[in-house]
Amino acid sequence: MILIKSKKEIDLIRESCKIVAETLQLVKRQAKAGVTTLELDKIAEDYIRSNDAIPAFKGYSQAGSFSFPGTICSSIDDEVVHGIPGLRTLKEGEILSIDVGVKKDGYFGDAALTVAVGNISEAKMKLMKVTEESLYLAINEAVVGKRIGDISYAVQSHCEGNGFSVVRSLTGHGVGRKLHEEPAIPNFGKRDSGPVIKNGMTLAIEPMINMGVYEVKVAPDGWTVLTKDELPSAHIEHTIAIIDGKAEILTVC
């Protein structure tokens, strides 16, 4: 069931989302060559807790997995999503996806971005640019009366039109009282398909775009999702609310 949120609920989600956005920007500034992803994780957790909020990912579990140990998901190059923070040191030329979730006063916010570590290749720059463009094209489709498939089609058509592929086994999602709610929001699909978009929906739209093939695999750690061909992937995400007929991005500082 898709939950329609009241104004009060959206305001609570907005507060969690603001902390998400601030955390992402803080971690982004520290994502430099020589820094470990565990150091970035501590920066994120300290900031979230300083705002009387809880890291939403830490301790999260899904079917068949152990509880996620980190505050952020830190995914490097061919790691699509759900990378576990650790002692791996960032290197010049890599791209890093940072995903952050926050729970405050019973409501969740969720967002992600991909950052360059120093100077990166033109191919990686294009991947990041096209992935970001696809997110905003998708958000523009999130208006009352359209359907979730219109969001999905916007991502797929833009990314595939630029020579990239769309991960099919992972999706965006509703967000609010729970970290993951209905509806699922694939990054591929047909126009005018899926649930109708209505005022009060709160959605996490998150393109996960690969430089090579769309197929992915899961690492032995049970969490990290990798591209099958070991080529880079980019990930970006915003939580939005449908208010007065159109999307408002909540995960902004």
Nearest-CA neighbor of 224 among 88, 51, 104, 39?
88
**What is the model's pLDDT at position 15?**
98
pLDDT tens-digit profile of 63-99?
667 899 999 999 999 999 999 999 999 999 999 999 9
Rounded to whole angstroms, the Cα distance separating 23 from 96 reads 15
Q: Hey, where are the domains in the chain? A: 7-249
The pLDDT of 226-249, averaged and rounded, is 98
Place of tokens 């694939």: 186
Contact yes or no for 26/18 (Cβ under 8 A): no
- From CA 170, how far away is CA 5, in angstroms rounded? 24
| Residue 73 · residue 97 · CB < 8 Å | yes
* pLDDT digits 0-9 by tens, 19-66: 999 999 999 999 999 999 999 999 999 999 999 999 999 999 876 678
Is 89 or 253 the better-scoring residue by pLDDT? Answer: 89
Once rounded to an integer, what is the mean pLDDT over residues 108-118? 98
Cα separation values, 217 from 45, 58, 85, 209, 214, Å: 28, 22, 19, 14, 10
Second CATH level (architecture) for the domain 7-249: Alpha-Beta Complex (3.90)
pTM above 0.85, yes or no: yes
Tokens encoding 70: 């980190």
DSSP code at position 113: E
Structural Rg of the chain based on CA atoms: 17
Among 150, 145, 154, 139, residue whose Cα is nearest residue 241: 139
172 three-state secondary structure: strand
CA distances to 155, 169, 195 from 233, rounded to whole Å, are: 15, 14, 28
How far apart (Å, rounded) are the C-alpha atoms in residues 159 and 189? 13
Which pair of structure tokens corresponds to residue 176? 């609010």
Q: Binning pLDDT at 50, 70 and 90, where does residue 135 land?
A: very high
Residue 188's closest CA among 161, 217, 211, 219? 161
